[in-house]
Amino acid sequence: MNPIILYATPNSPSGRRVKEYCLARGLAFVEYDVSADPAKARELIEKTGQLFLPAVDIGGQILTGFDEEQLAACLQARL
């Protein structure tokens, strides 16, 4: 499975929930702080056309915000 990529900011409650979700399930992920890394912010904008946070890239499918059911369904489809 491709790595899970999380684009967020340190103070994002929804970003924190995505991290907690992944950690609780033993899912490996890479996190980018778009407030400290403008290149990653541009990368997200190139992928989605917007800077809506948090954003999760799972094998090229981008999810925004935190929706546990949507996240679980996307992960299940990738397994």
Give per-residue pLDDT as tens, 8-28: 999 999 999 999 999 999 999
Strand, coil or helix: 51: coil
Describe the chain by its helix, strand, coil percentages, rounded to 5: 45, 25, 35
> Measuring CA to CA, which residue among 1, 22, 4, 20 is closest to residue 12?
20
d(C-alpha 60, C-alpha 70), whole Å? 15
Tell me which of 3.30.470.10, 3.40.30.10, 3.40.50.2000, 3.30.420.40 is the CATH number of domain 4-78.
3.40.30.10
Q: In the chain, pLDDT over 90 holds for what percent of residues? A: 89
Secondary structure of residue 2 in the 3-state scheme? coil
Q: What is the pTM of this model?
A: 0.91
Predicted confidence band of residue 78 (pLDDT cuts 50, 70, 90): confident
